[in-house]
Structure 1
Amino acid sequence: MTTTSTTSARGYSASKDQLQKRLRRIEGQVRGVQSMVEDDRYCIDVLTQIGAIQAALDKVALGLLDQHAHHCVMGAEGQLREDRTDELIGAVARLMRRGVRSWITEPRASTASASRRRCTA
């Protein structure tokens, strides 16, 4: 008699340690940005760090998408494969939409004296 397990491993199980290390590193970067805000650091420096965090999260997301495609989608059969393909396409669409900003306008003219000064309202 054969039995099947009701619990299946996730696609990222093999790289779970690496994934957790990356996420802990990102968590540390977020704490660093919190400290920068507490210390009233220059806005552009804070934004630069936020960009680095977003890039790191994008790498994590791409890794998860890759693992999902190879393990969960390609390993499925029939209707389940179609459903998981649709899920994957939806996840990619959501990740791509995240970067779209309709409210960004042309940058305002700046003066040389404003360079690198702390922003105050």
Structure 2
Amino acid sequence: MDYSDEIKNRLKRMEGQVRGILRMMEEDKHCKDVVSQLSAVRNAADKAIATIVAANLEKCILEEQAIGRDSSKLVKEAIELLVKSR
């Protein structure tokens, strides 16, 4: 699969957020603030997962339709992947 620059940039921002969280921990910031930032990273990861699965699903469905196959199995697999990721 070809990953877009948008998704790569999203992951780079998450990487920066994680570094910031580590810095907060080293500076003994309040746990409420650390957990809040961790939650933001988790939400960003969830969005990245959904974006990747959706893009891949769309590509696979179009390929299956082009050769005349039923794509319902792909949809089920994508749903299972999303559920598993959470």
TM-score scaled by structure 1?
0.60
Match of 1:28 in 2: 16
Looking at structure 1, the residues matched to 62 and 78 of structure 2 have their Cα atoms a distance apart, in angstroms, of 11
- CA drift of 1:91 comes to 0.4
1:46 and 2:34 correspond: yes
Match of 1:88 in 2: 78
- CA drift of 1:83 comes to 4.6
Code of the residue aligned with 1:91 in structure 2: it is L
Higher helix share: 2
- CA drift of 1:94 comes to 0.8
Match of 2:48 in 1: 60
Identical positions, percent: 30
Aligned residue pairs, count? 83
Unaligned runs of 5+ in 2: none
Looking at structure 1, the residues matched to 47 and 79 of structure 2 have their Cα atoms a distance apart, in angstroms, of 17
Unaligned runs of 5+ in 1: 1-9, 99-121
TM-score scaled by structure 2?
0.81
Which has the larger Rg?
A: 1
Code of the residue aligned with 1:64 in structure 2: it is I
